[in-house]
Amino acid sequence: MPAAAQALLRTLVDAGVDVCFTNPGTSEMHFVAALDAEPRMRAVLTLFEGVATGAADGYARMSGRPAATLLHLGCGLGNGLANLHNARKARVPLLNIVGDHAAGHAQYDTPLQSDIETVARNVSGWLRRSASSASLCGDALEALAAARSAPGQVATLILPADVSWGEAAEAADARRPSAPAPAPAPAVSEDLVREVARALGAGRRAALLLGGRALREPLLRLAARIAARTGARLLGEVFPARMQRGAGLPVVERLAYLPELAAVQLAELDELVLLDAREPVSFFAYPGKAARLLPPGCRVRALAEAPCDLHEALERLVRQLDAGSAPPLLQAAARPPRPRGALNARKVCQALGHLLPEDAIVVDEAQTSGVMLPAFTAGAPAHDLLALTGGAIGQGLPLALGAAVACPGRPVIALVGDGAAMYTPQALWSMAREGARVIAVVFNNRAYSILELELQRVGAGRARGRARAQFDLARPELDFVRLAEGMGVSARRAATAPEFLAALEHALAHPGPHLIEAVVPRAYAGLKLRLLPRLLAALDRLPPGMARAVKRGVAP
C-alpha cells in the first residue's frame, strides 16, 4: 500500500492540480519524498512562503485552476499570510497544504507548535485538519471542490505528519461519485434583470462598474454591448484580479486610487450597476472625509454578486435591452512614441506602451510610479493586467512568477515599486530556477513615495526629518541589479529613457527572467494635495486626452 502522501499527490494530479509552490520542512518530508513517485506534479521551490502563496495566486488568475502550496506549520503559513490575503480578495481557487506535527506530538508544545487553525481561518473559506491517512485523499478532493466553488476561494488542508506517513488504501478518484463536484452557480432572478434593464434604459446618467469576472471575456464584451446600447459608461474596479484590455478590447475606465479623482469620475452618475464589483469607497479612511465616493442620490444596483451566474444574467440583460447587435466601443490600436531624455516614472510607462508585446501579462504593483500606466498602454496590443487586490504589498514579483508558470508562452512584465519589491525579493530566485519569462521592472525612486502622499492625505501635517526618514529608502541606496544578480537573474540599470528602452528591448528578445532597475525621481515629489481641487477645476481647460487621463486616476 502506498504512503498516504503518495496517494495524496496522485489524487491531486488526477483532479487537475499539477503545480505546487513549496517551502517544505521536516513535517512535509513525506510529501516531498512522494514527488519522486509522481512525476506529473511540478514542484516549484521558493525560498520564502510569501512567494509560494503569491505565485499560487498568480497561477490561478491566469490558468483559472488552483495550484497547491506546501507550507511548514503555522509559521510557514504566517509567512504566506499576506499574499493569501491578496488571493482571498482576488477570489481565486487555491489549495494550501500545511504540514503539522504528528497528532500525538502537540501535547509536548515543542518549539514549532502553534495554533495553525486560528491563523488559517483568516484567509481560508474552507479549512480542515485531516484526521487520518484513510480520509486524506477524500479531504483533498473536498478541499479542491471548495476552492473551485464559484467564484473561487482559498482552501486550507492541515496535514499532520503521521497522516502523511500512514498508509492509504488507494488514491481517491476525482471522477467517482463520492468526489464532491463544485456547486453550480445560482441564477440571478428575472425580476432583478428586468429592474436593471429598466434602470439602464431610463435615460439617466448610468455606468456599469465591472469587477472580478466581468473584466474578462466573454462577460466584458457583453457589458460593452449593453453600454453601447444604453449609453452607460463602463467603469472598472480600482484593483482588478485580472483585467483584459488593450487594442481591440472594450474600453473600460478604471477607477482611480485617489478618492478625489475617483469622485470626479463618479460625480455625474444617477445609476451605478455593479457587475461582480462593489460600491466604490476610499481605500483608507481620512479625517473629515466620507468613505463613500458616489454622489448623493446615485442609485446602486448589483446585478450579480458572487457566486451567482453573472454570465447567464448578462446574456439575459443583453436580450432584454436588445443589445446583441450593438457594436461595443473598442480600443483603437495606438502606441505612444519612444520617450527621450532623463528617465522618470512616466517615461517608463510610456516605453512600456511603446514596446508592450502581443499577449503580455502585466503585473502592476508600481504604486505611485504606475499612475501613467493605464493611459500609455491603453492602445497597446491586447494584454492582461493583474493588480494588487488586497493591498498587501509584496505581491508583484510572486504573482509574476505564478503567471509565468501558468502561461509559459507569454511574456510577463511586473512593474514593482522599490519598497514593494523588498517584501518578497526571493521570488527572483525562483524565476531564475524555473526559467520564468518574467521582466521585473523595479521603479527605484528611493522612497516609500506613496506614504509621503498619504501623510498629507491623513492630515498629519508636514513631515520633517524624523518622520520623513520613515519614507526614505536612500540611506543606504538599494542596488536592485546586485540583488537580482545575487539571485541568478540578469539585470540592468537604466537612468535615461534610451537606456530603459534598450534594456526592455533586450529583455523582450531574450526569454527568461530579467530585472530592469529604473532609476526615477519620486512621482509625487512636487504634488501638493491642496492644489488638487484647483487642478480638477481646471480639467476642462486641459487638452481632452490629458483631462481624460487625469480623470482616470492618472495624476499630473
Q: Would you report the helix, strand and coil content of the chain in percent, each value rounded to 5? A: 40, 20, 40
Shortest Å distance, C-beta 10 to its own copies: 14
Nearer to its own copies among residue 262 and residue 323 (C-beta): 262
Shortest Å distance, C-beta 489 to its own copies: 8
Nearer to its own copies among residue 36 and residue 191 (C-beta): 36
Shortest Å distance, C-beta 79 to its own copies: 5
For 411, residues 6+ apart whose C-beta sits below 8 A from its C-beta are: 357, 359, 360, 361, 437, 439, 508, 511
User: What CA–CA distance (Å, rounded) separates 424 from 50?
Assistant: 7
Shortest Å distance, C-beta 284 to its own copies: 5
Of 44, 45, 35, 42, nearest in space to 16 by CA: 42
Are residues 452 and 463 in contact, defined by beta-carbon separation less than 8 angstroms? yes
User: What CA–CA distance (Å, rounded) separates 359 from 106?
Assistant: 50
* Cell numbers for 374: 493605464
Of 173, 213, 146, 522, nearest in space to 367 by CA: 522
* Measured distance between the N- and C-terminal CA atoms of the chain, rounded to whole angstroms: 67
Shortest Å distance, C-beta 426 to its own copies: 6
Nearer to its own copies among residue 351 and residue 385 (C-beta): 385
Shortest Å distance, C-beta 451 to its own copies: 7
List, in sequence order, every residue forming a beta bridge with 210; answer none if it has no partner: 236, 275
Cell 462577460 found at = 219
Nearer to its own copies among residue 3 and residue 373 (C-beta): 3
Nearer to its own copies among residue 466 and residue 541 (C-beta): 466
Sequential DSSP letters for 264-320: HHHTT-SEEEEES----B-SS--TT--SB-SPTT-EEEEEE-TTS-HHHHHHHHHHH
Nearer to its own copies among residue 80 and residue 379 (C-beta): 80
Q: Are strands 412-417 and 42-45 parallel, antiparallel or unpaired?
A: unpaired
Three-class SS of residue 406?
Answer: helix
User: What CA–CA distance (Å, rounded) separates 1 from 340?
Assistant: 67
Shortest Å distance, C-beta 419 to its own copies: 7
Of 215, 555, 162, 186, nearest in space to 384 by CA: 215
Count Cβ atoms within 10 A of the Cβ of residue 207 and give its class: 0-12 exposed, 13-18 middle, 19 or more buried.
buried
Nearer to its own copies among residue 214 and residue 323 (C-beta): 214
Nearer to its own copies among residue 314 and residue 363 (C-beta): 363
Shortest Å distance, C-beta 479 to its own copies: 4
Angle at 220 between CA 217 and CA 225, to 5 degrees: 125
Amino acid sitting at position 344: N
Shortest Å distance, C-beta 175 to its own copies: 26
Nearer to its own copies among residue 228 and residue 481 (C-beta): 481
